[in-house]
Amino acid sequence: MLFPDQSWIELTEEVIIREGLTAWAAGFKLGTAGYRDQLDPLDSQNPQMAFNAIKLAVVAEAKARVYDRLLERSDTAKDRHVGGEVRPHTQDFIMLVARIYAAHGWTVHLRPDRLTPPIWYSSFGVWYNEFNDGENFTASHSPNFKGGWKPMDGEGKQLLDAAQLIENEVRVISRPGTVIPLAKPDHPNILVDFDIDSPYIEFLGSLVSAPALAAIIQAGQKGFTAFAATLGGSMGRTSEIIFRDLGIPVGDQGPIRYLFKEEDSAYHGLGQVNGVNHGVDPGKPEIYKHIGADGWLRQAPPGSFVFIWDPDGDRFNIVTTASAEEADLARQVGLEVDPLSPDRVLVYFKPNQIYFMLAAFRIAELKANGLIDKYDWMVMETWPTSRSIGELAEKAGLKVIRTPVGFKYFGNALAELENQLWSDPPQVPVRFKDVLGRETIIGPHPRVLIMAEESGGAAMGGAEFMTSRHARTKSLAMKEKDGMQVGLVTLALAADLYLKNTSFAAYYHRLMDQNDITFRFYERDDIILYDENSPPEKMAALKAEGMRRRDRTVGFFKGLIGKSPDEVHRVLTQRANGFSFPPIKDIFWAGDGTLIEMENLWWELRASGTDAVLRYYIEGRDIKLIRGVNLALQKLALD
pLDDT at 532: 87
pLDDT at 639: 79
pLDDT at 6: 95
pLDDT at 591: 93
Check: CB of residue 450 under 8 Å from CB of residue 380. yes
Query: How far is residue 10's CA from residue 327's CA, in Å, rounded to a whole number?
Result: 64
Percent of the chain topping pLDDT 90: 92
Check: CB of residue 323 under 8 Å from CB of residue 343. yes
pLDDT at 424: 86
**Run of H or E including 413:** helix 407-421
pLDDT at 533: 83
pLDDT at 392: 98
pLDDT at 75: 83
**Run of H or E including 400:** strand 399-403
Dihedral sign from CA coordinates of 280, 283, 285, 289: positive
Could you give all domains of the chain from N- to C-terminal order, each with its CATH number? 8-195 (3.40.120.10), 198-348 (3.40.120.10), 355-487 (3.40.120.10), 521-634 (3.30.310.50)
Query: How far is residue 101's CA from residue 291's CA, in Å, rounded to a whole number?
Result: 40
pLDDT at 320: 97
Which residues of the chain, if any, have pLDDT below 50?
Answer: none
CA atoms within a 13 Å half-sphere pointing along the CA-CB vector of 423:
12
pLDDT at 478: 95
